[in-house]
Amino acid sequence: MKTKSFLSALLLTLAALLPLQAQAFWSLFGGDEDKKVEPLLQVCAVPQLYGPLTELASLQQAHPSSVFKGQFALHFDTAGGLYSKIANKTERCDVLLSNSERMPILLVRSQLSEPSSMHAFAKAPLVLYSSDPALFARGAEPVIKQKLKSLALPKASLTPVGFAAAEVVSSKTFPTNYLKHHLYRAEQEYQVFAMVSSGNVQAGFVTLPLVIGESGSYWQIPADYYPEICYYAAVLKGSMQLQGLNFIEMLKTDARAQQSLRTGGFLPLNEDVESGPYDKLPGR
């Protein structure tokens, strides 16, 4: 799938650049600044939202105003990269869509956004992913039977994904003693994805939007094993505030937007995926 292969390449590039604190930036569906056109709402988002947002943008181009009353441009970067561009005024962002509440809170503290404009709009399920298509064919079985050979986790102190993964592995029902020399930590889930997809690590904790449509297999962690991993939106101060608020409302309520998010691995805030027959750990 073309969209997914682009996202995979994007994530692997981010994983390679993160240790160097590089901040590559991608723009899609942008306008030509030399033309006199209606102002575009500049939507800045983390790469996990690439699939759902580009699907909405394509729908908007084919049927103007069918999803959103106005035009918007999409920009993708890591949350830190987006915040840096906003704070340094090197790129205009009217709406920030982030994989944690940390960046919207920083915008509020920097007086770049109003507290009332910050909203959670979706959540991402936590999965244990492997590039081996057979490993998680029976859900949690490799964990229960201590068959994992190596495991990667994002750092708990840096991201909600890392904190959620730490909550899962800290349980007595998730044995890790036999993996003591084969546990690996990464700063971000992009790096975990790179470690696993390259075959250097057998399995790693990431969110479903990163691996939906990828080859391999995953165990979807039961929702009651970890705190919710919510995605947040914030509108920046400026002339496009009203349009920004309307865009966020569209993400939260429009049926087509909700379906695009579902297709991309996200869930509405009020829903959970039911656990399968092999998903529960003994004793939980």
Task: Provide the CATH number for the domain around residue 214.
Answer: 3.40.190.10
Calculate helix-pair angle for 102-109, 79-87, nearest 10 degrees.
10
Is 27 in the same domain as 113?
yes
Of 91, 90, 115, 96, whose CA–CA distance to 105 is shortest?
115
Same domain as 106, residue 74: yes
The tokens of 123 are what?
Answer: 């959540």
On the question of pLDDT at 55 being above 90, the answer is: yes
In a domain? residue 282? no
Residues 265-283 pLDDT 10s: 999 988 877 777 667 777 6
Residue 276 in domain: no
Do 154 and 37 belong to one domain? no
H-helix or E-strand spanning residue 280: none
200-247 pLDDT, tens per residue? 999 999 999 999 989 999 999 999 999 999 999 999 999 999 999 999
Asked whether residue 273 is domain-assigned, the answer is no
User: Is the residue at 275 inside a domain?
Assistant: no
**Same domain, yes or no: 110 and 241:** yes
Let me know whether 69 and 174 are in one domain.
no
The confidence score (pLDDT) of residue 1 equals: 47
pLDDT > 70: what percent of the chain?
84
Of residues 153, 139, 229, the one with CA closest to residue 186: 153
Same domain for 238 and 113: yes
Residue 49 one-letter amino acid: L
Q: Is residue 213 part of a domain?
A: yes
Between 123-127, 140-144, 155-159, the lowest mean confidence (pLDDT) is in 155-159
Residues ≥6 apart with Cβ < 8 Å to 171: 225, 281, 284
Per residue in 56-69, pLDDT (tens digit) is 988 888 777 667 77
Both 116 and 234 in one domain: the answer is yes
CA 186 vs. chain centroid, Å, equals: 16
Return the bridge partners of 44, or none: 75, 96
Q: 81 and 164: one domain?
A: no
**Number of structural domains found in the chain:** 2
β-bridge pairing 41-45 and 72-76: parallel
* 16 and 117 share one domain: yes
- According to DSSP, the β-strands at 230-235 and 72-76 are unpaired
> How many C-beta atoms lie closer than 10 Å to residue 259's C-beta?
13
Q: Are residues 117 and 247 in the same domain?
A: yes
Total Cβ atoms within 10 A of residue 239: 8
Write out pLDDT tens, residues 70-127.
789 999 999 989 999 999 999 899 999 999 999 999 999 999 999 999 999 999 999 9
284 in any annotated domain: no
- Do 103 and 237 belong to one domain? yes
Name residue, tokens 């959670």: 120
Is 283 part of a structural domain of the chain?
Answer: no
Residues 207, 142 share a domain:
yes
> Residue 262: is its pLDDT beyond 80?
yes
Domain of residue 221: give its range: 126-225
Q: What is the pTM of this model?
A: 0.84
| Integer Cα distance of 108 and 254 in angstroms | 26
Please indicate, yes or no, if residue 269 is contained in any of the structural domains.
no
Q: How many CB atoms lie within 10 A of CB 190?
A: 25
